Amino acid sequence: MYSLSWQPPYDWSWMLGFLAARAVSGVETVAELYYQRSLAVAGHRGLVTVVVDPPRSTLHVELSQGLQPVAQACLEKVERLFDLRCEPQRIARTLGDLGAARPGLRLPGAMDLFEQGVRAILGQLISVAMAAKLTAKVAQRYGEPLAEAPGYVCFPGPERLVVADPDDLKALGMPRQRAGALIHLAQAALSGDFAPAAPADVERGVKHLQTFPGIGRWTASYFALRGWQAPDIFLADDYLIKQRFAGMTPAQIRRYAERWRPWRSYALLHIWYTEGWRPTDNRETASPRR
């Protein structure tokens, strides 16, 4: 058993609710103050079990025997998934009133960048629930069963999806073009064109992702938000964000969001999950900050 800590406040109800809505059947199980999933790291496979202990600001993490040789890497992945290194007081000072109602909101990360890339591609133009079901079909079709945990499969890595038949993927319920995008992502991961870690220049990395078939600006930015856990991403052309900023162009929205640098990813989450939020003024919509 391992222990990881965080700086309070932390809104665990929101975080686990977010992950539960996106949970991939056969890969993840999410319950109250509980998270479990299969994981493959450097050729080692097993089960990660996380129990949240809010009074002690501690996560109790159990790794099955197969993951013990890569325990440190697994713990780092858990830290990223749950944004445990976040310093909420620093973010609160920048967000001001925007973050006051939910000071414990964290940025959900990812335990595997390739997996998050697959999820981002599959989630395009469909609901969260439909995306989770489609991703589960891909995982069940191409993932390897985890012998020590019946019912679980390890999410398929690029070496499994690179040889997938596009028609087979299409039969799972996705357009053929999206199937091709998954295969290209797998090829890029194996060639090194899709980096296994966040780039030093996130903006440049987002632009590079947009050169991949089937990945537009929104998908690339959302991947940066979750996969790279980039703290300063703002999706000005997101459908819900445009609703929240009614009457403003994406360029005006981006200028307005400048006030929340370098924590615009957290601002984005607060706006997404604050029903009826509206900008309080338009003092930064006329011209860029100089």
Tens-digit pLDDT profile for residues 186-238: 999 999 999 878 899 999 999 999 999 999 999 999 999 999 999 999 999 99
At 282 the pLDDT is: 56
Q: Specify the domain boundaries for CATH 3.30.310.20 within the chain.
A: 2-100
Alpha-carbon distance values, 254 to 3, 208, 237, 268, 273 (Å): 39, 20, 9, 11, 19
What are the structure tokens assigned to 118, written together?
Answer: 């697959």
Tens-digit pLDDT profile for residues 94-147: 999 999 999 999 999 999 999 999 999 999 989 999 999 999 999 999 999 999
Fold (CATH) for 2-100: TATA-Binding Protein (3.30.310)
Q: What is the rounded distance in angstroms from the CA atom of residue 288 to the CA atom of residue 281? A: 15
Question: Is residue 26 a contact partner of residue 131, using CB atoms and an 8 Å limit?
Answer: no
At 197 the pLDDT is: 85
Residues 6 or more apart whose Cβ sits within 8 Å of residue 64: 46, 47, 48, 49, 148, 149
Q: What is the rounded distance in angstroms from the CA atom of residue 88 to the CA atom of residue 105? A: 8
What are the structure tokens assigned to 5, written together?
Answer: 């800590």
288 pLDDT exceeds 60? no
Amino acid, single-letter form, for residue 249:
T
Architecture per CATH, domain 231-290, reads as Orthogonal Bundle (1.10)
Q: Specify the domain boundaries for CATH 1.10.1670.10 within the chain.
A: 231-290
Q: What is the mean pLDDT of residues 14-32?
A: 97
CATH class of 113-226: mainly alpha
Q: What is the mean pLDDT of residues 150-167?
A: 97
Q: Specify the domain boundaries for CATH 1.10.340.30 within the chain.
A: 113-226
At 195 the pLDDT is: 82
Looking at the annotation, which residues are catalytic? 238
DSSP 9: P
Tens-digit pLDDT profile for residues 234-263: 999 999 999 999 999 999 999 999 999 999
State the residue for tokens 């040789």: 69
Q: What is the mean pLDDT of residues 65-77?
A: 98
What are the structure tokens assigned to 193, written together?
Answer: 């064109």
Instruction: Please state, rounded to an integer, the average pLDDT across all residues of the chain.
Output: 94
The model carries a pTM of 0.94
At 171 the pLDDT is: 97
At 198 the pLDDT is: 87
Cα-only R_g, the chain: 19
Strands (E), the chain: 2-5, 28-31, 34-41, 44-53, 58-63, 144-145, 153-154
- Say what percent of the chain tops pLDDT 70: 97
